[in-house]
Amino acid sequence: MASPVYLFTGFLDSGKTTLIKDTMNDPGFMADVDRTLIICLEQGETAYEEDWLKEHKADIVYLDDAESLTAERMHELDTVYHPSQVFIEWNGTMPVSETLLSGMPEFWPLVQILTTVDATTFEIYINAMRQMMFEQLRWSDTVIVNRCTPDTSGTLLRGNIKAINRRCQIYYEGAFGEQVKLKGGLLPFDLNSPVIDIKDDDYGLWYMDAVEDPEKYDGKRVIIRGMYAQNIPGYKQTFILGRRAMVCCAQDTSLCGLTVTNVKIWEMKIGDWIEVEGELKALPLENGEGKTVVLYADRCSKYTAPADEYVYFS
Break the chain into its structural domains and give their ranges: 5-172, 196-311
pLDDT above 80 (res 288): no
pTM of this prediction? 0.69
Q: Each residue of 56-85: pLDDT tens digit?
A: 999 999 998 889 999 999 999 999 999 999
Q: Assign 251 a pLDDT band (cuts: 50, 70, 90).
A: low
Nearest to 306 by CA among 159, 230, 227, 200: 200
pLDDT above 60 (res 106): yes
The CATH number for 5-172, chosen from 3.40.50.300, 3.40.50.2300, 3.40.50.720, 3.40.50.620, is: 3.40.50.300
Q: Domain spanning 196-311 has what CATH number?
A: 2.40.50.140
pLDDT above 80 (res 20): yes
**What torsion do the CA atoms of 231, 234, 236, 238 make, to the nearest 10 degrees?**
-50
Q: Assign 45 a pLDDT band (cuts: 50, 70, 90).
A: confident
Tell me what the mean pLDDT of segment 9-35 comes to. 93
Q: Assign 165 a pLDDT band (cuts: 50, 70, 90).
A: confident
- Residue 42 has a pLDDT of 87
Nearest to 8 by CA among 31, 34, 38, 30: 38
pLDDT above 70 (res 175): yes
pLDDT above 80 (res 183): no
The CB density around residue 34, as the number of other CB atoms within 10 Å, is 10
Q: Assign 49 a pLDDT band (cuts: 50, 70, 90).
A: very high
Q: Is 226 helix (H, G, I), strand (E, B) or coil?
A: strand
Percent of the chain beyond pLDDT 90?
65
pLDDT above 60 (res 248): no
Tell me what the mean pLDDT of segment 186-200 comes to. 89
- Residue 76 has a pLDDT of 97
C-alpha–C-alpha distance, residues 29 and 85, integer Å: 11
C-alpha–C-alpha distance, residues 196 and 253, integer Å: 27
Tell me what the mean pLDDT of segment 38-67 comes to. 92
Per the document, the length of the chain is 314
- Residue 190 has a pLDDT of 86
5-172 shares its CATH topology with 196-311: no
- Residue 54 has a pLDDT of 96
pLDDT above 80 (res 28): yes
Nearest to 36 by CA among 12, 13, 52, 18: 52
